[in-house]
Structure formats: C-alpha cells, structure tokens
C-alpha cells in the first residue's frame, strides 16, 4: 500500500488550487478500502475524500490523509421492458456516464450533461441542471462507514435529497465513503425541455422532436457558452446556491427591482437567481490579480492560474456581505470550503 507524502492536490481539484496533503492515496477498489482502513494513517489522521474534486475550495495545506476515490465500473444490474438499472463505481466520470447512457438511448440524465465531477459525489449535493436532479433517477448507493468499516446501503429516501442537499452534507458529513451509486434509466425516454434555455437552443437548430442526444447536445452547447471549462479556467461551477425567499420579501424587493429573476416554488416561496443578484451588485467579471467572478456567469468564481483558495473564499465572503447589504438576502455557499 503506497501512501504518498506531501502530494500536491492541484490536479485533483477543478479550482486548480495548489495545496499539499500530508498523506495521499488513490483508491481503486472496495477491497483496497478494506485494507487501507486498517492502516495507521487512516485511523489517526483527519480524512478528506476527493472524487472529481469539482465542488471543493481548498484554502490551506491538508494536514491529514486525502483518499482519492477512483473506484470504477458500470454494471447493468437489472433490466425490464421499460428500464435499466446501472450500478456505477464512485470514481466514474459523471459526463462519461451520461454519454454512455445517451449512446444507449437510455433516458433520464441527459439534461445533466457536462457536469464536472464523478458519479460518487453526484448524490452528495444532488447535482442538478436544466430542470433535472440526480434524485429523479437515483435508486440507491453503497457507502463505507468510516467508524465501523461496514458497507451500508442508502435508498433514495434515506439520502434526504433537497436542492443541492443530501444527508451526506448534513448529519452524515465526513462519516461515509460512497463506493457506488445505482440509477434507473428509461428505455422509453421522456424528453424534459421545460427549461427555457434548452427550448431556445433546440429551436435555433430547427429540432422539433428532439431525441435525448439532441437534448444532451443542447445542454452541452448552453453550458459551454456560459460556464468556464475547468481544464482551461479553474472553477467549481456555481459557487453559491440560488436563495429561496418568501412572497413578502419578494414583494418588497420588486418595488425597487422589478426585473429581479425569480422562480415560484410554491405559493409563498420563490427561488431567486443568485447570478442576477451578483451581476446587479456589480460583481460580474470583476478580476483581482489571478482570480475573480466569471465574465459570463456571475455565480461562478474563477482561478485564472495560481490563485490562493483563501483569496477566492474571501471574495465569496465579500460578495455575501454586499448582497446582504443591497438586497437583504444572505447567499449560501454551494462549494465545500476546506
């Protein structure tokens, strides 16, 4: 078991932050996890699990043990007339999984094309985009309990999914290592193009009856036009969540900001586009040396190369304070700051 010391984490987080881990190991199987969990380093050091590293802002060297989850494998575990059930290793690249599903004409995750990260971290924050969330196709997952060394199964209900939320970000934070997820995809896909941007994109390409490949292509096009490619500019997608406010609060804001971007959730709750708030407050495209707010999507903070995680975190705090002062709304970070 070759545990590496003083490993740079730069290529293991999509923000591209260059900090080091005292101890580092790339995990390739559940079997290896059983072995490594009895090591002294695993038992005595603070533990950080990295999978795709796409929802992570590292602000300092990690004084502990980083386990990079590379567990691979896509297995068709069940199939009937309507659906297929895929068990997917936590280390599988999410977008490649989507491409595999689209290639087989299995529907359900095509709207989640091009989301950076791996299958095993997708449930942590219930990844979502263009009207679809992981929870819509998620069946169950297996996770290794760090304290006991036992593997537990969690159903969709057990995970308590919410908007960018799950039990693994709350009560179960830091207690489990997800080893696989199982999703259910449809052999008779239903197209979901409710999200305006997709409709417009398909319209532009003169596609009236889209296939799931067409939807996937449209999503890829939209994402590429707005969101920076982490291979070119370090980032973690949306840095903040879209806040939810009450009707009373919305009515008060509409008096001064009639153009506020809002989506009704129920009679009394509205989701507000945080990107709009940040842009309106003048932050969009702001650059400080080698980091800043993305020029095309104000919800995304970026590392132009060599930035410190702490500087990006401080920028996020300044934005939170400013939005609170200007709109009376406190933004919450979506990204995990370590």
Catalytic residues: 164, 238, 334
Query: Number of residues in contact with ligand EPU, rule: CB under 6 A?
Result: 18
On whether the CB atoms of residues 156 and 139 are closer than 8 A, the answer is yes
Sign, CA torsion 259/265/268/269: negative
Helix runs in 25-130, H state only: 30-36, 40-44, 94-103
Smaller CB distance to ligand EPU: residue 42 or 276? 276
> How far apart are the C-alpha atoms of 260 and 244, rounded to whole Å?
13
Among residue numbers 142 through 181, which ones bind ligand EPU (CB under 6 A)? none
Q: Out of 120, 243, 275, 292, which residue is the one contacting ligand EPU (CB under 6 A)?
A: 275
The encoded tokens of residue 160 equal: 């308590």
Pick from 12, 25, 22, 26: nearest CA to 63: 22
DSSP string covering 54-88: -SEE--S-EEEEEEEE----EEEEEE-SSEEEEEE
Q: Shortest CA distance to 16 belongs to which of 333, 312, 227? A: 312
- Are 298 and 316 in contact by the 8 Å Cβ rule? The answer is no
Letters for 36-75 (x = contact with ligand EPU by CB under 6 A, - = none) are ----------------------------------------
CB of 196 to ligand EPU, least distance (A): 8
**Nearest distance, CB of residue 72 and ligand EPU, angstroms:** 24
Among 18-26, 31-39, 99-107, 272-280, the segment contacting ligand EPU (CB under 6 A): 272-280
CB 104 within 8 A of CB 118: no
CB of 155 to ligand EPU, least distance (A): 24
If binding is defined by CB under 6 A, does position 138 make contact with ligand EPU? no
Our CA dihedral for 92, 94, 99, 105, rounded to 10 degrees, sits at: 100
Binding residue for ligand EPU, selected from 26, 32, 279, 311, defined by CB under 6 A: 279
Q: Which is nearer to ligand EPU, 180 or 242 (CB)?
A: 242
The answer to whether 98 contacts ligand EPU (rule: CB under 6 A) is no
Binding flag, residue 238, ligand EPU (CB under 6 A): yes
In eight-state DSSP terms, residue 142 is E
Binder of ligand EPU out of 9, 27, 177, 299 (CB under 6 A): 299
Shorter beta-carbon distance to ligand EPU: residue 67 or 222: 222
Residue from 10, 226, 314, 326 in contact with ligand EPU (CB under 6 A)? 226
Which residue lies nearer to ligand EPU by CB, 107 or 128?
128
Q: How many CB atoms lie within 10 A of CB 263?
A: 11
298 lines the binding site for ligand EPU (CB under 6 A): yes
67: nearest Cα among 28, 10, 38: 28
In the complex, which residues of this chain contact ligand EPU (CB under 6 A)?
Answer: 129-130, 197, 226, 237-238, 241-242, 261, 273, 275-276, 279, 284, 297-299, 334
């Amino acid at each position: 078991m070759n545990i590496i010391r003083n490993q740079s984490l730069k290529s293991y987080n999509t923000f591209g932050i260059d900090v080091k881990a005292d101890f580092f190991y790339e995990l390739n199987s559940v079997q290896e996890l059983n072995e490594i969990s009895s090591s002294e380093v695993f038992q005595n050091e603070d533990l950080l699990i990295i999978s795709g590293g796409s929802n992570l802002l590292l602000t300092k060297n990690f004084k502990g043990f980083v386990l990079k989850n590379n567990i691979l494998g896509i297995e068709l575990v069940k199939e009937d007339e309507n659906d297929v059930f895929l068990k997917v290793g936590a280390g599988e690249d999410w977008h490649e999984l989507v491409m595999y599903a689209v290639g087989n004409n299995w529907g359900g995750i095509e709207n989640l094309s091009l989301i950076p990260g791996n299958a095993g971290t997708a449930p942590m924050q219930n990844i979502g985009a263009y009207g679809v969330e992981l929870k819509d196709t998620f069946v169950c997952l297996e996770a290794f309990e760090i304290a006991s060394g036992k593997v537990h199964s969690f159903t969709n209900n057990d995970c308590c999914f919410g908007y960018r939320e799950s039990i693994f970000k709350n009560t179960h934070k830091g207690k489990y290592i997800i080893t696989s997820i199982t999703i259910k995809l449809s052999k008779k896909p239903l197209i979901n193009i409710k999200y305006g941007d997709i409709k417009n994109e398909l319209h532009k390409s003169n596609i009236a009856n889209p296939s799931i490949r067409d939807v996937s292509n449209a999503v890829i096009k939209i994402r590429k036009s707005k969101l920076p490619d982490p291979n070119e500019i370090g980032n973690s997608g949306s840095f903040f969540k879209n806040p939810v406010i009450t009707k009373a609060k919305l009515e008060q804001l509409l008096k001064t900001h009639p153009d506020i971007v809002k989506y009704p959730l129920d009679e009394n709750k509205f989701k507000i586009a945080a990107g709009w708030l940040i842009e309106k407050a003048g932050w969009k495209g702001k650059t400080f040396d080698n980091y800043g707010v993305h020029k095309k999507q104000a919800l995304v903070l970026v590392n132009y190369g060599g930035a410190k995680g702490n500087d990006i975190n401080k920028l996020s705090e300044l934005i939170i304070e400013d939005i609170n002062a200007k709109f009376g709304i406190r933004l919450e970070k979506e990204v995990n700051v370590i």
